[in-house]
Structure 1
Amino acid sequence: MFGLIGHLTSLAHAQAVANELGYPEYADRGLDFWCSAPPQIVDTIKVTSLTGETIEGRYVESCFLPEMLANRRIKAATRKIVNAMAHAQKHGIDITALGGFSSIIFENFNLYQIQQVRNIKLEFERFTTGNTHTAYIICKQVEQASRQLGISLSNATVAICGATGDIGSGVCRWLNARTDVKEMLLIARDRARLSALQEELGRGQVIGLEEALPQADIIVWVASMPKGVEIDPNGLKHPCLIVDGGYPKNMATQIQHPDVYVLNGGIVEHSLDIDWRIMSIAKMEVPARQLFACFAESMILEFEKLYTNFSWGRNQIGVEKMEQIGQWSVKHGFKPLLVN
């Protein structure tokens, strides 16, 4: 059985959907209440592969909210993630994906140091961040959507915002090794990590965000948007493809221009309907078919009976593993979301 650990996008979102999740008593409670709320299994899932095999999974709502980080409730945020992991393990889930902020919090706060949650010793091999599949899907979106828009990668400049992160570095490695992209602009806060990545790739220009955006034919955004930053679509190339790999996804509403195409990055479509309700709550356009690629990774691993932390640690995503998860992804009926 596979599992998904997720969270809602805000306190307002959580309050609005509490009734749908089956917890009406949560609907009018504030942040303090959500900080103490325990994880809950709120959805049972059935997925059928193109091979004909059907698997079952569970969605674990961690009750984490992004406001916990904004309001410096760090202990509450970290507790949410490890408690949700323990809850999944307690219920016999073999492989669970850490969705949204779950994997970011796990990595940034070194939660692998927490071995014990009450009476449960965490077995980390039961968990995956899902980042390898996410990086693969984003790369396929770049390749396929650029063809849709008539942007030739061999003549294109691609800016990767968040290049030194786990997903961003994987994207850079793939673009470097598996495409003929003309130029890569590497953008991140940590200059030392940027220099190390540039040296590893043997190419790429380390550059600031404001300088990079007007040069880019394609922008891959896999970082949180800095406060106060707004992107003027008139200052971008036309056409320009933006792959929004952040969470929650908001670039499509912020950037409106007929020649700037914003694609929800790291989203896959399944070939067959999935029996669940959680993607309706996540506001997917086609909730029976569309889902986050990180969630799909746990499904793929369940189909393959590979119960291991396929994606784990920071900057560990290599091209070979991306190719492997990509082959399994196609085999079981997942494909990248593209431009309408």
Structure 2
Amino acid sequence: MFGLIGHLTSLEHAQLVAKDLGYPEYADQGLDFWCSAPPQIVDEIKVTSVTGQVIEGRYVESCFLPEMLASRRIKAATRKIINAMAHAQKHGINITALGGFSSIIFENFNLEKIKQVRNIKLEFERFTTGNTHTAYIICSQVEQMAPKLGIDLSKATVAVCGATGDIGSAVCRWLNQRTQVGELLLIARDRERLQNLQGELGRGKILGLEEALPQADVVVWVASMPKGVELDPTTLKQPCLLIDGGYPKNMATKLQHPGVHILEGGIVEHSLDIDWRIMKIVNMQVPARQLFACFAESMLLEFEKIYTNFSWGRNQITVDKMDLIGRVSIKHGFKPLLLSL
């Protein structure tokens, strides 16, 4: 059995969908209430591979909300994630993906130091961040979508915003080794990590956001939107492909210009309908077929009976691992979401 640990995008969103999740008593509650709410299994899932194999899973709602970080309720946020992991393990789930902020919180606050949650000794090999599959899908979106817009990747300039993160660094490795793009622009806040990545790649220009974006034919955005940043679409190249790999997706509302093509990054489409309701709750456009690539990673590992933390730690994703999860993804009927032109 596979598992998915997720969360809703805001307090307002959580209040709106509480009834759909089966908890009407949560609908009128404020942030303090959600800080104390325990994790719940709110969806049972059945997925059929194009090979005919059928697997079952569970969605664990962590009851974490992004406002917990903004309001400095850090202890509540970390407790949410570790309790959700314990809840998944207690219910015998073999491999569980940490979706959205779950993996970021786990890594940034070193939750791996927590070995025991009440009477449960956490077995971290039961969990994966799903970042390897996400990075592979984003790279596939770049490779498949750019030519449709007339962008020759062998000559193109690709800017990666959030280049030193787990997904960002993996995307850079793939674009450097496999896609072999014309030029890589590396954007992140930590200068030392940027220089280390540049040294590993053997190339790439370290630039600030305002300097880099007007030069880019393709922008891969896998960083959180910094507060106060406003992007002017008229300063971007025409055409420009912008892959929005953040969560929640918000680029399409911030940048509207006929020459700027914004694609929801890290989203996959399955060839067959999935029996679940959670993707409708998170407002996926085609909820029976579309899902986050990180969630799909746990499904793929369950299909293949690979019960290990396939994606774990920071900057550990290799091109070979992306290759492996990519082949498995295609085998079971998943494909990257693309734009309809």
- Residues 188-199 of structure 1: matches in 2 within 5 Å? 188-199=188-199
Give the equivalent residue in structure 2 for 1:133.
133
**Shift of the alpha carbon at 1:155?**
1.3
Deviations 1:25-47 (A, max 9, x none): 00000000000000000000000
Give the equivalent residue in structure 1 for 2:172.
172
Give the equivalent residue in structure 2 for 1:306.
306
Alignment partners' CA distance in 1, 2:148 and 2:264: 15
- Residues 107-122 of structure 1: matches in 2 within 5 Å? 107-122=107-122
Letter in structure 2 aligned against 1:99: G
Give the equivalent residue in structure 1 for 2:322.
322
Alignment partners' CA distance in 2, 1:117 and 1:299: 25
Letter in structure 2 aligned against 1:47: V
| Runs of 4 or more consecutive aligned structure 1 residues displaced over 6 Å after TM superposition | none
- Residues 244-283 of structure 1: matches in 2 within 5 Å? 244-283=244-283
Deviations 1:67-111 (A, max 9, x none): 000000000000000000000000000000000000000000000
Alignment partners' CA distance in 1, 2:275 and 2:6: 17
Give the equivalent residue in structure 1 for 2:124.
124
**Shift of the alpha carbon at 1:150?**
1.1
Deviations 1:226-257 (A, max 9, x none): 11001110010000000000010000111101
Give the equivalent residue in structure 1 for 2:76.
76
1:156 corresponds to 2:161:
no
1:3 corresponds to 2:18:
no
Letter in structure 2 aligned against 1:3: G
Q: SS at the partner of 1:153? A: coil
Letter in structure 2 aligned against 1:246: G
Letter in structure 1 aligned against 2:154: S
**Shift of the alpha carbon at 1:213?**
0.5
Give the equivalent residue in structure 1 for 2:54.
54
Q: SS at the partner of 2:154? A: helix
Letter in structure 1 aligned against 2:37: A
Deviations 1:288-313 (A, max 9, x none): 00000000000000000010000000
Alignment partners' CA distance in 2, 1:276 and 1:141: 25
Alignment partners' CA distance in 2, 1:32 and 1:227: 24
Alignment partners' CA distance in 2, 1:54 and 1:254: 40
Alignment partners' CA distance in 2, 1:299 and 1:22: 24
Alignment partners' CA distance in 1, 2:223 and 2:118: 34
Q: SS at the partner of 1:174? A: helix
Deviations 1:131-151 (A, max 9, x none): 000000000000001011110
Give the equivalent residue in structure 1 for 2:235.
235
Give the equivalent residue in structure 1 for 2:93.
93
In structure 2, runs of 5+ residues without a counterpart are none
Alignment partners' CA distance in 2, 1:169 and 1:54: 33
Alignment partners' CA distance in 1, 2:241 and 2:167: 18
Give the equivalent residue in structure 2 for 1:335.
335
Letter in structure 1 aligned against 2:59: Y
Alignment partners' CA distance in 2, 1:180 and 1:26: 50
Alignment partners' CA distance in 2, 1:23 and 1:179: 47
**Shift of the alpha carbon at 1:180?**
2.4
- Identity of matched residues, %: 81
Q: Kindly report the root-mean-square deviation, in angstroms, between the aligned alpha carbons of the 2 structures.
A: 0.4
- Total equivalences in the alignment: 340
Letter in structure 1 aligned against 2:153: L
- Residues 198-213 of structure 1: matches in 2 within 5 Å? 198-213=198-213
Structure 1 window deviating more from structure 2 (146-155 vs 12-21): it is 146-155
Structure 1 window deviating more from structure 2 (148-157 vs 96-105): it is 148-157
Alignment partners' CA distance in 1, 2:180 and 2:34: 48
Alignment partners' CA distance in 2, 1:207 and 1:37: 43
Give the equivalent residue in structure 1 for 2:34.
34
Alignment partners' CA distance in 2, 1:117 and 1:223: 31
Alignment partners' CA distance in 2, 1:61 and 1:147: 39
